[in-house]
């Protein structure tokens, strides 16, 4: 991947990303998030990743056309709705903390429908953690090889958890998704 943003400050990357969002340019926004994931874990970079990640998720969801579904590039709407429903049943009224539980769409042949979910837990912004997986840094082989995108907003309510609550929620959510017949990785 060409690094268009190398040498830019976090603020200038944010400005470029916001402009890309306004123009509906998901690829540029994705590149900006990728570049921010290389910053040292600072509160500024984390804040920007938390701001920009949901925008990318929105653009990616809007880009899913009936043609994409026909070609098997995105899971069926009923599949996504069921994952979201199960995710919403978990988490909730926890004390504020530094951890998040996140979901990644997987694409592969380990399940008849061709799609799965990775359930993870992190102290980083989920967008930064996703890019760490994709770059091979403390990564799950499942996300590195088969990860398509974060499943925002399915896990927005699972951010700001205590370490204990995050671990528990990660395990319970993975178990619930697997129990509903989904291909699930992670969730240890």
Per-residue model confidence as pLDDT tens digits over 40-52: 556 666 677 777 7
Say whether pLDDT at 65 is over 60.
no
Predicted confidence at residue 68, as pLDDT, reads: 43
CA separation for the pair 44, 151 (Å, rounded): 23
pLDDT, position 124: 86
The predicted pLDDT at position 132 comes to 84
More confident residue, 172 or 61: 172
What is the predicted pLDDT for the residue at 181?
A: 92
The confidence band for 69, taking pLDDT boundaries of 50, 70 and 90, is very low
In this predicted structure, what is the pLDDT of residue 37?
65
Q: pLDDT grade, residue 71 (50/70/90)?
A: very low
State pLDDT tens for residues 143-171.
Answer: 888 888 889 888 888 988 889 999 999 99
Given its phi and psi angles, is residue 187 left (phi above 0), alpha (psi -120 to 50 degrees) or beta?
Answer: left
- State the DSSP code for 158: G
- Give yes or no for residue 111 having a pLDDT over 50: yes
Segment among 17-26, 36-45, 165-174 with least mean pLDDT: 36-45
Say how far apart CA 70 and CA 99 lie, in whole Å.
Answer: 37
Q: Which residue blocks in 23-76 are alpha helix, DSSP H?
A: 26-36, 43-62, 66-70
Model confidence at 80, pLDDT cuts 50, 70, 90, reads confident
How far is Cα 128 from Cα 58, in angstroms, rounded to an integer?
A: 17
């Amino acid at each position: 991947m060409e690094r268009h943003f190398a040498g830019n400050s976090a603020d200038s990357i944010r400005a470029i990303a916001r402009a890309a969002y306004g123009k509906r340019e998901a690829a540029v926004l994705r590149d900006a998030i990728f570049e921010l994931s290389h910053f040292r874990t600072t509160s500024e970079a984390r804040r920007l990743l938390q701001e920009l990640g949901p925008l990318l998720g929105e653009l990616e969801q809007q880009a899913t056309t009936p043609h994409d579904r026909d070609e098997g590039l995105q899971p069926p709407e009923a599949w996504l709705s069921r994952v979201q429903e199960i995710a919403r049943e978990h988490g909730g009224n926890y004390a504020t903390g530094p951890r998040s539980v996140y979901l990644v769409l997987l694409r592969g042949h380990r399940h008849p429908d061709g799609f799965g979910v990775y359930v993870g837990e992190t102290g980083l912004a989920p967008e930064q953690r996703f890019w760490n997986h994709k770059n091979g840094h403390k990564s799950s082989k499942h996300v590195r090889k088969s990860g398509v995108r974060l499943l925002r907003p399915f896990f927005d309510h699972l951010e700001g958890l205590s370490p204990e609550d995050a671990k528990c929620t990660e395990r319970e959510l993975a178990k619930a998704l697997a129990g509903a017949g989904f291909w699930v990785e992670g969730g240890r």
